[in-house]
Amino acid sequence: MITAIFRLTNVQWRTPLTRISEIIAVAAIIFAAIGIIIDMGRPDRLWHLFVYSRLQSPIIWDVIVITTYLVLSVLFLYFPLLPDLPMLIKSKEANPKDFTGKLYRFLGSFWRGKDDQRKYSETAIRIISVMIIPVALSIHTVTSWLFATTYRPGWDSTNFGAYFVSGAFLVGAGGVVIAMYVFRRAYHLEEYITDKHFDNMGKVLVMLALLYLYFNLNEYLVPAFKMKKAEEHHLKSLFTGEYAMLFWSVIVLGMIVPVIVLMFKKGRRPLPMFIMGILVVVGAWYKRFLIVTPTLLSPFLPMYDVPESYTNYHPTLAEWAITFSTLSGALLVITFFVRYFPIIPIHETIEEKEAILNPKS
Amino acid sequence: MKQGALIFTFLICVVSAIAQDKASVRLGLTFRKVNDEPAVLRCEAKTKAGKRFEPVENAIVNIYFSEENNSNLIGTTKTNGKGIADVNVPASFLTRMDSTASWHFVATLTEGETYKGASAEADVTRARLQVDFQEADSTRTIVAILSEWKDGKWTPVPQTEVKLIVKTLFSDLPVGEDTYTTDDEGKASTTFDMKLPGDAEGNLTLGAKLEDHEAYGTLFATSKMKWGVPTPPDNSFSQRTLWASRDKTPWWLLIGPNLIILAVWGSIFYLVYLFVKIRRSGMQKT
């Protein structure tokens, strides 16, 4: 979505960041879908979701938007990649039996850079840039509705859609910053991903962190002001109770500290940006934990005569394994992509440089 | 030889240590009767673990009438996860029970791998609790009548605490005060002026309850009365609602999202069409 907004608003410095954002989006959405299938507990019954779907159920809305977003994200990665593929094919001409050469030919041997091809491709990219914004908004909104359509304390909120969208914006930008730093160092891309890009992304991150802070303020301060009986246990467990340490750490380290550090020009240099990116992403992960767990431990109906283990939660080994395997899987997809495809769009960069050299053309 | 003797002694020590480690069980036996249904004998088995009691699960319990022998065996059962085992008194024992004014029950818990055997006894005086309803000049009254079998007839039991209740989904709702004391006629009563939702015809289940009495056990009498506010059953499940089955999706939810899905996926198919055009154009020989 960040890429789409940059494209539509014609942000000039976007080029080296677009493919990084797109591959992060594709990897994340693939494992978001797989994660949901695993979490449902019976992956063999996945087809039931399609055959017996009820449109009244928010889980079906999630299935629909995730599938749509996955297809659009793949297309958004593929169309801008087309002009780069002939260069990749050429680089493998010496060894025609090489697997990567075959892969490049399969994906883009038909790209000749003809006028009509460029016209169709530009139209497609423009359509996707427009479409992906509402679809991305839907995906985060529908995810929030999975919670907000219940009456549970902490989830029963009209603020939830915007709150989740702003949270996704922030973690997405944080992820892009981390990837920018890692790729720049690993592939020595200092000439393409410059300090200026970090500086600009730092400003974007400050704005998004402030936006998320604002929604957090709404989400917690308003219910705390009223302190309804049903919400009391949940809110106190966050503010002063069992989860207070984690809650305040997330707010301070995941939002306030990045805002303060990134307000200064020195804070927007690559290394501090990378550290702030990590704080944002780790903070965002714990934020999701805080959204789900304390609410589930604040029962909607009174609980009595239950085993002691029902009143607290510690993730099991299987849950940790699922969490880390989905994260590793997403990183693996990104790693494979970067191994075989240029993470900086070659053709777009050349065009940009030519435009600078020959402004009249 | 010496080694053999040592191993044998060690094994004896281990076996006796295991035998000694078996936990003592505290077994309780109570009597319970609801209306004219068969009486129920309830056993509760628990062991002390540290400072608290824990239920004994899957323990075999035998319950006998009068004394412990096979001809008096009322039933055999297993304790559940809460350490509770219930046995209904079968009809074959009713004649024997009706011939006496008090009963003696014995429960034995068979020794298990981790707990010792235990037994419990209960003496129950034959009693009955009835509930009656009166309605005069728009005043509704619930009356509980408690009596015991004495000298060949039912005799009122005075000065005993009984509860007057309305049965609800999860628990019993007291009518008026928590408990009422029976008078010389064995009666306890209160007026009923609660406005409670009943079934479609306004039926409420009202009753009287004597709980864990040392002589009579637990007695429960209930009856249905049309003293509630008639509440029509919610049959919206068969209409087009958010909670109905998939073939009864509300029209607005069927049309709106499907139009959006069609528009979005129509555009995606257009993108695929553009891709096909790019591919065809590239394949053409110029």
What is the least distance, in Å, from the CA of B178 to any CA of chain A?
Answer: 22
**Residues in A 107-136 with any Cβ partner in B closer than 8 A:** 109-112, 114, 116-117, 120-121, 123-124, 127-128, 131, 135
Boundaries of domain holding B273: 246-283
Chains A and B form CB pairs within 8 A to the count of 69
Strands (E), chain B: 25-34, 40-49, 52-55, 60-65, 73-78, 84-88, 102-109, 118-125, 127-136, 139-150, 153-156, 161-167, 172-174, 180-181, 187-191, 204-213, 217-225
For residues B131 and B88, state if they share a domain.
no
> Does the pLDDT at position B87 exceed 70?
yes
Domain presence at residue B237 = no
Average pLDDT over residues B171-176: 91
For residues B158 and B175, state if they share a domain.
yes
Q: Which contiguous run of DSSP H or E holds residue A5?
A: helix A2-8
For residues B116 and B132, state if they share a domain.
no
Given B72, B91, B124, the domain boundary residue is B124
Do the beta carbons of residue B88 and residue B40 sit within 8 Å? yes
Domain ranges (residues) in chain A: 1-151+300-361, 152-298
Partners of B262 on chain A (C-beta within 8 Å) are none
In whole angstroms, how far apart are CA A110 and each of A75, A77, A79, A107, B86? 17, 17, 13, 8, 79
Partners of A131 on chain B (C-beta within 8 Å) are 264, 267
For residues B107 and B134, state if they share a domain.
no
> Does the pLDDT at position B113 exceed 90?
no
Q: Which residues of chain A have pLDDT under 50?
A: none
Q: How many domains does chain B have?
A: 3
Distance, in Å, from the CA atom of A243 to the CA atom of A287, rounded to the nearest integer, reads: 11
CATH no. for residue B38?
2.60.40.1940
Q: At what angle do helices A229-239 and A195-226 cross, to 10 degrees?
A: 140
Partners of A123 on chain B (C-beta within 8 Å) are 274
Partners of B83 on chain A (C-beta within 8 Å) are none
Do the beta carbons of residue B131 and residue B208 sit within 8 Å? yes
Do the beta carbons of residue A101 and residue A95 sit within 8 Å? yes
**In the structure encoding, which two tokens stand for residue B191, read together?**
């007026």
**How do B161-167 and B204-213 pair as beta strands?**
antiparallel
Distance, in Å, from the CA atom of A77 to the CA atom of A64, rounded to the nearest integer, reads: 20
What is the least distance, in Å, from the CA of A311 to any CA of chain B?
Answer: 18
What is the least distance, in Å, from the CA of B168 to any CA of chain A?
Answer: 16
pLDDT tens profile B223-263:
999 999 999 988 888 899 998 888 999 999 999 999 999 99
Cα A125 from chain centre: 20
pLDDT tens profile A210-249:
999 999 999 999 999 999 888 898 999 999 999 999 999 9
What is the least distance, in Å, from the CA of B40 to any CA of chain A?
Answer: 23
**In the structure encoding, which two tokens stand for residue A211, read together?**
């936006």
Of B108, B129, B128, nearest to B118 by C-alpha is B108
> Does the pLDDT at position B90 exceed 80?
yes
Given B73, B96, B124, the domain boundary residue is B124
ipTM of model: 0.89
Sheet (strand B60-65) strand order:
B73-78, B60-65, B102-109, B118-125
DSSP A240-290: TSTTHHHHHHHHIIIIIHHHHHHHSTGGGSHHHHHHHHHHHHHHHHHHHHH
Main-chain phi, psi angles of B230, to 5 degrees: -55, 130
Domain presence at residue B87 = yes
Residues of B with CB under 8 A from a CB of A: 242-246, 249-250, 253-254, 257-258, 261, 264-265, 267-268, 270-271, 274-275, 277-279, 281-283, 286
**Residues in A 70-109 with any Cβ partner in B closer than 8 A:** 71-72, 75, 79, 82, 109
pLDDT score for B85: 93
pLDDT score for B185: 95
Q: Is A61–B253 a contact, with Cβ atoms under 8 angstroms apart?
A: no
Of B185, B182, B188, nearest to B154 by C-alpha is B185
Q: Which residue of A has its CA nearest to B280?
A: A110
pLDDT tens profile B33-65:
999 888 999 999 999 888 888 999 999 999 999
Do the beta carbons of residue A261 and residue A267 sit within 8 Å? yes
Distance, in Å, from the CA atom of A277 to the CA atom of B62, rounded to the nearest integer, reads: 68
**Angle ∠(B132,B134,B136) on CA atoms, nearest 5:** 175
Domain presence at residue B17 = no
For residues B107 and B195, state if they share a domain.
no
For residues B79 and B60, state if they share a domain.
yes
Nearest CB among B253, B264, B274 relative to A124 is that of B274
Length of chain A: 361
Q: Which residue of B has its CA nearest to A75?
A: B271
pLDDT score for A249: 97
For residues B250 and B278, state if they share a domain.
yes
For residues B64 and B92, state if they share a domain.
yes
HSE of B57, CA atoms in CB hemisphere, 13 A: 3
CATH no. for residue B208?
2.60.40.10
Distance, in Å, from the CA atom of B109 to the CA atom of B104, rounded to the nearest integer, reads: 17
- Could you give the percent of chain B with pLDDT greater than 70? 92
Of B219, B206, B218, B211, nearest to B176 by C-alpha is B206
Distance, in Å, from the CA atom of A185 to the CA atom of A183, rounded to the nearest integer, reads: 5
Burial string for A210-249 (b: 16+ CB within 10 Å, else e) reads ebbbebbeebbeebeeeeeeebebbbbbbeeeebeebbee
Distance, in Å, from the CA atom of A84 to the CA atom of A192, rounded to the nearest integer, reads: 16
For residues B94 and B131, state if they share a domain.
no
Partners of A82 on chain B (C-beta within 8 Å) are 278
CB atoms within 10 A of CB B277: 17
What is the least distance, in Å, from the CA of A133 to any CA of chain B?
Answer: 12
Q: Is A116–B277 a contact, with Cβ atoms under 8 angstroms apart?
A: yes
Q: Is B281–A117 a contact, with Cβ atoms under 8 angstroms apart?
A: yes
Hey, which residues does B49 pair with through a beta bridge? B52
Q: Cβ of A64 under 8 Å from any chain B Cβ?
A: yes
Q: Is A71–B267 a contact, with Cβ atoms under 8 angstroms apart?
A: no
